[in-house]
Structure 1
Amino acid sequence: MTFSDQHQVDPGLPDQPGFRLARGVARMLRSLDHAVLCEFVPSRGLRVDVISITPTGEIWIVECKSCRADFAGDRKWQNYLEWSDRFYWAVDTDFPDDLLPPDTGLIRADAYGAEILRDSPLTKMTGARRTRLTRDIARIASIRLQGLTDPAGTGPD
């Protein structure tokens, strides 16, 4: 059974499998009281699918992989490890789990929800990096919220 079996089909849902997985992951993380952002750039040249801050201040990164080719083509994921306290893969029920490194977390997801199947080991970031990353997450979240509140508003040129 998938999480979507419990819900009616959402006609407004994006066709892209990665966006569907990210939505389900974000819903699950919010249910755990995380502050969640999708599509975040922690450093030049890196873009994570989902990043969250837990109630205790841990920073989690979740990379969503929709198929074997998507995973095989990801050459940057190891660079994400230094930007999180915990790193997870989110995949659907058809993904071959044995492809994923066993020392990373595993989440099963679809567009409507997710569950953690294997916890990620905790690897604490340095204090300076955590401070910078937390500030950057807050700034991006605020800018995105302002864009929703006032789409005609502009930032610096």
Structure 2
Amino acid sequence: MNQSESSAAPQIVDGRQSPTALRVQRGVMRFLRSVHDMTCLAEVPLSNGRRADVIALGSKGEIWIVEIKSSLMDYKVDAKWPNYKDFCDRFFFCKPPELDGDIFPADEGLMTADGHWGEILRPAQHAPLPSARRKAMLLKLARLGADRVHVLMDPETRRDDSF
């Protein structure tokens, strides 16, 4: 194992993500970081009991949620995605290249990504968060990110994703 492999942060995997979803997650996070200067956290628990696939944070505090759909069945069985929109300024679906984009609602943002890169196919509507919700989300993301770094530095510490 070379230096970059040993120091690379592991993906957050809880056993629910398919290999396709993990590839899409990697590509969309790379894209958002490189092109949009956003930092990303994966598998973020929200105060409504849901878990966002990817939350991206912009340099001015803008928050995007990206809901990954790896297959037609994954999309069809999911009715919870509207619950994410109260926690972000922009909401996107993200799909692998082989999945037909026409299955997604035309009024929602849409991205595509593979294991290497991503792109925005359709922009998301901008619906700014109320100030109190934005503050709560920013604190949550800061604490969760710091906690995940702490666990990487000290694997024997207890991880707390409840922030």
* Shared fold per TM-score greater than 0.5: yes
Query: 2:36 matched to 1:27?
Result: no
Q: Runs (4+) of structure 1 moved beyond 2 Å?
A: 12-15, 153-156
Q: What is the CA-CA distance between 1:44 and the residue it aligns to?
A: 3.7
The Cα of 1:153 is off from its aligned counterpart by 2.6
Tell me if structure 1 keeps the 8 A contact 2:20–2:96: no
Q: Which runs of 5+ in 1 are unaligned?
A: 1-11
State the superposition RMSD in angstroms: 1.9
Task: State the shift of 1:154 in Å.
Answer: 3.6
Distance 1:37 1:100 in 2: 23
* Partner amino acid, structure 1, of 2:26: R
Look up the match of 1:48: 52
2:99 is aligned with 1:95: yes
Return closer, same or farther for 1:155/1:96 CA change in 2, 3 Å cut-off: closer
Instruction: Give the deviation of 1:35 after TM superposition.
Output: 1.5
Q: Structure 1 residues 89 and 15, CA, compared in 2 at 3 Å: closer, same or farther? A: closer
**Identity value in percent:** 38
Structure 2: where are the runs of 5+ without partners?
A: 1-9, 12-16
Structure 1 counterpart of 2:53, one-letter code: D
Distance 1:59 1:94, change over 3 A: same
Q: Secondary structure of 2:136's match?
A: helix
Note the 1:4-153 alignment, pairs <5 A.
16-31=19-34, 32-153=36-157
Distance 1:45 1:155 in 2: 18
Post-superposition CA distance 1:111-148 (Å, at most 9, x none): 11101111101001100000001100110100000000
- The number of aligned residues is 145
TM-score, normalising length: structure 1: 0.86
Query: Is the Cα contact below 8 Å between 2:38 and 2:58 reproduced in 1?
Result: yes
| TM-score (normalizing by structure 2) | 0.83
Greater relative CO (CA pairs within 8 A, separation 6+)? 1
